[in-house]
Structures are given as structure tokens and as C-alpha cells.
Amino acid sequence: MAGEEVLNLSVGEPDFPMPELAREYARKTIEEGRNRYTDVTGIPELRERIQRKLAEDNDLDYAPGDIVVANGAKHALFNAFLALCGERDEVIVPAPYWVTYPEQVRLTGAEPVIAPTGEGFTLTADLLETVVTPQTKAVVLNSPANPTGATYSKPELEALAEVVLRHDLYVVEDLIYEYFHYGDSPVPSIASLGPELQDRTVIVNGVSNSCAMTGWRVGYTAAPQAITQLIRRLQGQATSNVSIVAQYAAIGAMDSVPWAEIKSYRPRRDLAHHRLASISGVRCAVPAGAFYLFPNVAELLGDQCQTSDEFCAQLLADTGVGLVPGSGFGAPDHIRLSYAVDVPVLEAALDRLAEFAAN
Ligand SMILES: Cc1ncc(COP(=O)(O)O)c(C=O)c1O
């Protein structure tokens, strides 16, 4: 790749700027000298804003007291797992999965049980049934998903909900890519299927992806009171509140979601998918959401590159294109490509990938 620029399609965050209103609220918070602790669970104004978002976007009825603002969705997820499970419990994690889920489950002392998924990378009721045991405490749903972009439809969630209720499971539902959805209707939440489901669900979300504020660390859980109280106690001893500046900024962000930038990802998905699908030996589903493509490259593996790890390492060395191997996501025959980059970069990277695959 002598002299060729590195084209990095491995990054898992949006490439547009954060909303100006979020910056303005942050500046105002600093200028007004708001520098004290806040409530462990977050400032009331932010929790009320989240309550309104959950009602408007997700048709969910929560009180501000059901919400805990955490240091990013990652921290919110860890709070959820810590509150729900411990030693001898099992948590079902559908594969391909975001790398953090099994690791966080293990940190609680519980066992992650990796579940296979169906055609479109979604967990079906039948597949869920095959992995439930008396020790199962919870199942993780990530919609749209990292790394596959797979998104659960309402009928799929209804089928899963029946199994969840019959076995008395909890659902940890990670909706962090919710706004990156290219279907006609919003991403449904399993909690919106009825009060029994809402009672068994911990919603996880935040402003990291939707408002391109990954560095600000604002996420949250919305959960039944008993779980929220546990999370409150955990967070009170572990970290206390999220930075007050970031909390006010998050209100500004939620008041000015950058929809035009978010929607600009759909043509990039179509472009990248079209180009990938034309490469011989690459098989790729059209994802309904997130900003990743997760093609199967099994046919390109062989003597030169035996695994997707070797494939990505060789691709980087030969062409300067950075992708993520599927092994860390529990899908070793796949690679993850993020299209949250400028179109010329995407096109150049796909040209190089096509040439590499042909050789
Ligand atoms: C599926 C999923 N959930 C949660 C997160 C973490 O979000 P945050 O940056 O808000 O901690 C990520 C970030 O990559 C993610 O891909």
C-alpha cells in the first residue's frame, strides 16, 4: 500500500458534528457556575426530557423516577446487568453481538449464553426457546444491532414476548441505534407491547450515536421501580451523577436531533451494499438500521487468509482499508464495515476491497 492513504471503515461512531444547541447548553452551564453534584440519577430536567422522548418516540409511559442517567449506554447496560443478575444466572446474548455484552455479563458473575440467530440476524422465538434454562435471567435485544444492523419488527417482538413472559425472563433492550433506521416506521420497543412486558424490560439508550456525542458520555436506563432503585444504589456507590455539563448538553441535543445528517446514512448504506453485493465471494444482507454492513466473506477465506482476522490484517497491509473482523462479534466468517464516513472515502475503500477480493 506504499503511499496510499489509510481508509478507516472500522469506526463505530457517527461522522457528523454534535448539535449546536447542545454546545450552547454546555457553555451556559459552565458560565452559570453550575458545578455541584446533581441527584445520582440525573437532573430532573433531563429525566423529564427523556420521559417525553420515551412517550413520543416509543409509546412508553415512564415517570422521571424510573429513569437513571448513566455515563453512556455502556454504563447504563452494566448497571442493568448488575441489577438483574449474579452468580449462577444466565443471560442470553444473540450472536452476532456487540462485544461488550458477554463481557459485562461475566463481570456480574453470571454466564452469557450465546444464542444463534435466524436469516436476518434476529433471534426468533424458537431459537430463544432452545437456549432458555431454569437459570436464565434475561435476554439481550439490540435493535438496530451492532454489528449487523438487524432490526426487530413488531411481529418478531410479539413472538419473543410470549417466550419471555412464559419463562419469566427480563429483557435488556439496547436501542442506542434507534434513530438510524431505514424502514417506514420507527423501531418498536418490546416494552411497548404491554404493561407486563414493560415490567420485564430495562430500556437502554442515550445521545452518543443519535446526536454524535460519544465523548460526552450520556446514556440512561428506563426500568421498573424495583430495578431502578437497585441501579440508583449501585450508581450512587460507583460513580454518582454524570457530569452536570454533559447532562444539560444532552437536553439541548435531544431538543435538536440532527435528522438530516442521520437520514444521510441511508443512501450511503445503499451505495455500500450495492458495491459489496457485486463483489464475487461476498454475501451481504441489507440491514434495516445502524451504520454497519456485516458481509459474510467465507468464500474469500482460504490459503492466503484463513480467518476474518487474517483477512482484515492483510486487507489493511495491502490496501490501507481498515475493517473489523467478525470474530469478536461471535461471527468469524464475517467482517464489519462502517459507512459512517464521507462518500468518496467509502467509494475508494470499496474499490480497494473489490480489487483485494479479486486477487
Ligand atoms: C450496541 C451498542 N450499545 C451501546 C454502545 C455504547 O454506547 P455509549 O457510547 O453511549 O456508551 C455502543 C457503542 O458502540 C453500541 O454499539
For the CA of 74, the nearest atom of ligand 1: 11
Q: Is the CB of 120 under 6 A from ligand 1?
A: no
Name the residue at shortest CA distance from atom 16 of ligand 1: 146
CA of 250 to the centre of ligand 1 (A): 16
- CB of 73 closer than 6 angstroms to any ligand 1 atom: yes
The pLDDT assigned to 1 comes to: 58
User: In the prediction, which pLDDT does 4 show?
Assistant: 74
pLDDT above 90 as % of the chain: 96
174 C-beta closer than 6 A to ligand 1: yes
Which residues of the chain fall short of a pLDDT of 70? 1-3
At the topology level, CATH places domain 20-255 in Aspartate Aminotransferase; domain 2 (3.40.640)
Ligand 1 and 219: CB distance under 6 A: yes
pLDDT, residue 197, reads 98
Domain locations along the chain:
7-16+264-358, 20-255
pLDDT at position 43: 98
Protein fold of 7-16+264-358: Aspartate Aminotransferase, domain 1 (3.90.1150)
Indicate whether residue 336 lines ligand 1 (CB < 6 A).
Answer: no
Q: Is residue 12 lining ligand 1, measured as CB closer than 6 Å?
A: yes
pLDDT of amino acid 351: 96
Q: Which atom of ligand 1 is nearest to the CA of 71?
A: 11
What is the tens place of the pLDDT at every residue in 259-283? 999 999 999 999 999 999 999 999 9
What's the 280 CA to ligand 1 centre distance in angstroms? 32
Any ligand 1 atom below 6 A from CB of 208:
yes
Asked whether 176 lines ligand 1 (CB < 6 A), one says: yes
Which phi-psi region, left, alpha or beta, contains residue 109 (left: φ > 0; alpha: ψ -120 to 50)?
left
Condensed to tens digits (0 to 9), the pLDDT of residues 139-198 reads 999 999 999 999 999 999 999 999 999 999 999 999 999 999 998 889 999 999 999 999
Whole-number Å distance, alpha carbon 176 to ligand 1 midpoint, is 6
The pLDDT of residue 303 is 85
Q: Give the model's pLDDT for residue 2.
A: 52
CA 302 to ligand 1 center in whole angstroms: 33
